[in-house]
Chain A
């Protein structure tokens, strides 16, 4: 089956530092990747849609200068949380859509837990 990995699985950082999270599709090419954020006991909220080779599309209310997304290849997208603050602490989940698939098909990564002190 289609596998999506994330690295790191968890990270603790100091306030003001930047953190990069990687999302990789291991056995398929993904033209589109998605980044979600999930707070405890809440649902997944879409942050942005990332298309290979083009700029990401951010959802309303998500600061594009704070959450930098790069989708440089068909198997890798990165999310960089710049100048992280405690309120950025959350569970970040990526998903990937295979090149040839139904629009609703998304394979999810295992998530990255970020704690900002």
Chain B
């Protein structure tokens, strides 16, 4: 969902579930996308990236899906663990500008 004011969208799951975090990006010309994980009080940590000429990329326990038609990005986390609890941000870049634009973020809460 969309964040309003100071409220981050929150996804609550049970340990072992699969999690899907969604992101709508803004620039149809963006050609590179990254998912970051940010734990409380820390800087963002790279998870996985995808170029615009791909629609799916898999990593270890994570998969990113890109739908350029509707400017939508998703991050799937398999077998979610308590250590996955954090805020997840998508970021887009248009190589003509070389700066990252971050999405609003989603808080993932994993219960044991």
A contact set with B: CB distance below 8 Å: 4, 6, 32, 34, 40-46, 49, 91, 93, 95, 102-104, 106-111, 113
Q: State the Cβ distance, A61 to closest chain B Cβ, in Å.
A: 15
Contact yes or no, B44 A34, CB < 8 A: no
Q: How many A-B contacts if CB must be within 8 Å?
A: 54
Known: A43-B105, A102-B32, A106-B100. A113 touches B6 (CB 8 A): no
Q: Across the interface, which residues of A come within 8 angstroms of B6, CB to CB? A: 40-42
B contact set with A: CB distance below 8 Å: 3, 6-8, 32, 34, 36, 41-46, 49, 89, 93, 95, 98-105
Q: Across the interface, which residues of A come within 8 angstroms of B7, CB to CB? A: 41
Contact yes or no, A93 B43, CB < 8 A: yes
Contact yes or no, B43 A104, CB < 8 A: no
Contact yes or no, A46 B100, CB < 8 A: yes
How far apart are the CA atoms of A107 and B3 in the complex, in Å? 26
Q: Across the interface, which residues of A come within 8 angstroms of B45, CB to CB? A: 108
Contact yes or no, A103 B32, CB < 8 A: yes
Known: A93-B43, A108-B44. A41 touches B8 (CB 8 A): yes
**Residue from the list B46, B93, B102 in contact with A43, Cβ < 8 A:** B102
How far apart are the CA atoms of A62 and B100 in the complex, in Å? 17
Instruction: Name which residue of chain B comes closest to A40, CB basis.
Output: B6
Contact yes or no, A46 B103, CB < 8 A: no
Contact yes or no, B93 A103, CB < 8 A: yes
**Residue from the list A32, A46, A102, A109 in contact with B43, Cβ < 8 A:** A109
Contact yes or no, A108 B49, CB < 8 A: no
Q: State the Cβ distance, A84 to closest chain B Cβ, in Å.
A: 20
Q: Across the interface, which residues of A come within 8 angstroms of B3, CB to CB? A: 41
